[in-house]
Structure 1
């Protein structure tokens, strides 16, 4: 069984809403909602990976020093055993531009995230918002 460690970002705007991005049609769980982020590359810290992934996926620049670890969880999917490292951040530079085929994004009140259709492992980290 393949093991993946992924980083995810709960980016919070001034209204207390969290950015949620829709998964591309070409990936596992197409059109499901998720926190933006991705896989850690060799020789990257989780924080460095998250900064890189956020720029690659949604064109925002975030700084390692502005990230706060929030929660982690593991989940066994049919394709891999995944560890999710969730960070929060309230500061960024730039405007959201979906760069990897994502159909959409939305800003969601933290207590409403659990109502979205997400990959199962994401529900294990949502208790930080309740």
Structure 2
């Protein structure tokens, strides 16, 4: 195990709205990366498939239901590998555009806030480093 350090699998959602804006989650100040905007999601539990983990995390975090079959891989980002801490690998998925007229609207159930932004606006938001990488991959911006 010494030569094979552990890693933490994380899933995130890039959810478009029908008008071309994308959903972002603002992290509460008291949490890690507090005060920054991110693609919503969370950790994959042991034995859980990534798409199923994302459905669970989005229900817990935003109160909306997704269909795992409609999720499509969109990119990934990984933290630098440091021997002291596990490496974080975020798998980004997209889903069909969200219709804001639906009864169930995304809301920040675990604190913070949610907002809808254009790709240009997302580029300007303060984000954790891995979300910067994911946004560049998603929107085709150079690294």
TM over 0.5: yes
Q: Which has the higher strand share?
A: 1
Q: Which runs of 5+ in 1 are unaligned?
A: none
Q: TM-score, normalised by structure 1?
A: 0.89
Indicate if the aligned counterparts of 1:66 and 1:91 stay in contact, CA closer than 8 A: no
Q: Once superposed, what is the RMSD of the aligned Cα atoms?
A: 1.9
- Residue of structure 1 aligned with 2:96, choices 79, 90, 93: 90
* Correspondence 1:34-45 to 2 at 5 A: 34-45=38-49
Indicate if the aligned counterparts of 1:6 and 1:83 stay in contact, CA closer than 8 A: yes
Indicate if the aligned counterparts of 2:61 and 2:108 stay in contact, CA closer than 8 A: yes
For residues 17-60 of structure 1, the C-alpha deviation after alignment (integer angstroms, 9 at most, x for no partner) is 11001012221111100000000011210000000000000101
How many residue pairs are counted as aligned between the two chains? 129
CA distance, structure 2, for counterparts of residue 2 and residue 116 of structure 1: 31
Q: Which runs of 5+ in 2 are unaligned?
A: none
The answer to whether the aligner puts 1:105 opposite 2:111 as a matched pair is: no
For residues 4-24 of structure 1, the C-alpha deviation after alignment (integer angstroms, 9 at most, x for no partner) is 110000011100111001012
